[in-house]
């Protein structure tokens, strides 16, 4: 299978790429603005709204800048490894959820999937008057605490 051709076909599909694709495909989150598609045997996600995609991109860019040390990323312009992307996306979303739910029950499982990324980001913007005032230190702690599942060898 020609992987370059497959990547190009996915890029050529009409639609907006989902910024939280790894978190969604791994089952750690859901989003009302995402739509699944299949190309050959690969699964991907598209965003149905340019507004939602721009909001997700802005959040991830700000989070990536703040979490550079926790991710051990020296160069912000380069792409992150898969595990670094998972830690950034899932850890960041879990941190956002914990900020929103300040009165949350301590018995609530942190590993529960995020119900709706779009709604979570909208609530966060309303609560914190945008992304600039977010306490990124607490979000970085959540990113550092998240450890993706390790591959097991048979």
Collapsing DSSP states into helix, strand and coil, what is residue 43?
Answer: strand
Cβ neighbours around 74 below 10 Å, total:
8
Q: Residue 106 class from Cβ within 10 Å (0-12 exposed, 13-18 middle, 19+ buried)?
A: exposed
The first and second tokens of residue 84, run together, are: 């670094």
In contact, 34 and 98? CB cutoff 8 Å: no
* Predicted local confidence at residue 19, as pLDDT: 92
Collapsing DSSP states into helix, strand and coil, what is residue 20?
Answer: coil
> What's the rounded Cα separation, in Å, for the pair 54 and 148?
26
In contact, 117 and 56? CB cutoff 8 Å: yes
Residue 132 has pLDDT above 80, yes or no: yes
pLDDT digits (tens, 9 = 90+) for 16-55: 889 999 999 989 999 999 988 877 777 888 899 999 999 9
CA angle 58, 144, 24 (to 5 degrees): 55
Q: Which of 75-79, 84-88, 93-97, 113-117 has the lowest mean pLDDT?
A: 75-79
The first and second tokens of residue 106, run together, are: 């301590």
With a threshold of 0.85, does the pTM exceed it? Answer: no
């Amino acid at each position: 299978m020609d992987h370059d051709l497959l990547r190009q076909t996915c890029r050529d599909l009409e639609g907006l790429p989902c910024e939280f694709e790894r978190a969604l495909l791994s089952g750690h989150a859901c989003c009302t603005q995402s739509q699944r598609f299949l190309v050959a045997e690969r699964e991907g996600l598209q965003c149905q709204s340019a507004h939602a995609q721009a909001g997700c991109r802005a959040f991830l860019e700000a989070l990536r800048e703040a979490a550079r040390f926790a991710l051990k990323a020296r160069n912000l312009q380069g792409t992150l490894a898969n595990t670094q992307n998972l830690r950034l996306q899932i850890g960041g979303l879990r941190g956002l959820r914990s900020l929103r739910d300040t009165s949350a029950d301590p018995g609530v499982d942190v590993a529960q999937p995020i119900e709706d990324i779009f709604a979570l980001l909208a609530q966060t913007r309303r609560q914190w008057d945008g992304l600039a005032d977010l306490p990124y230190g607490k979000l970085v702690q959540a990113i550092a605490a998240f450890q993706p599942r390790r591959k097991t060898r048979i």
